[in-house]
Amino acid sequence: MKRIMGVDYGDARTGIAVSDLLCSIVGATAVIHSRNAEKTISQICEMAQKQDVGEIVVGLPKNMDGSEGPRAALCREFAQQLEQATGLPVRLWDERRTTVEAHNILSQHNYHGKKRKDTVDAVAASLILEGYLAFRGR
């Protein structure tokens, strides 16, 4: 069985979360610090290969009314490039409120300042992956 990777794509940082082998929970997280999409994709390809990933889920930022803005178009393009580079199926997953929820989780656990900034994207990727895993489990 192959793992599933969740991706929270951002301008400066991209959060990564990888499932356990049973694809039931988040097993590992990381943050890629890069403003270059090609470099980010290259690092994701490397991680996916090392972690034996078989599927990738990229967060799709939708507006609260369900519409898509410019950020969603960037994520769609990124997901297509990622699918071509990895050769893996890449799914898009509605990520509404994941970053807000990630900030709330970190606040509850007393993460502030640089510590929060370095962690929030990985937490958001975990929430994207958890949502997708729960959907698959139904």
pLDDT, one tens digit per residue, over 80-128 is 999 999 999 999 998 877 777 776 777 777 777 766 667 888 888 999 9
The tokens for 63 are 């507006």
Within 10 Å of residue 16's Cβ, how many Cβ atoms?
26
Within 10 Å of residue 48's Cβ, how many Cβ atoms?
24
pLDDT score of 138: 72
The residue-averaged pLDDT of 43-57 equals 97
Give me Rg for the CA atoms of the chain. 14
pLDDT score of 115: 67
Confidence of residue 72 (pLDDT cuts 50, 70, 90): very high
pLDDT score of 52: 96
pLDDT score of 68: 86
CATH topology for the 3-137 domain = Nucleotidyltransferase; domain 5 (3.30.420)
Tell me which of 70 and 88 has the higher pLDDT: 88
The residue-averaged pLDDT of 27-49 equals 95
Where is average pLDDT lowest: 16-25, 38-47, 129-138?
129-138
Instruction: Report d(CA 1, CA 11) in Å as an integer.
Output: 32
Of the candidates 113, 110, 13, which has an alpha carbon nearest to the alpha carbon of residue 59? 13
The total number of residues shown for the chain amounts to: 138
pLDDT score of 114: 67
The residue-averaged pLDDT of 62-74 equals 87
- N- to C-terminal Cα separation, the chain: 18
Q: Where are the domains of the chain?
A: 3-137
pTM for the complete prediction? 0.89
pLDDT at 30 over 90: yes
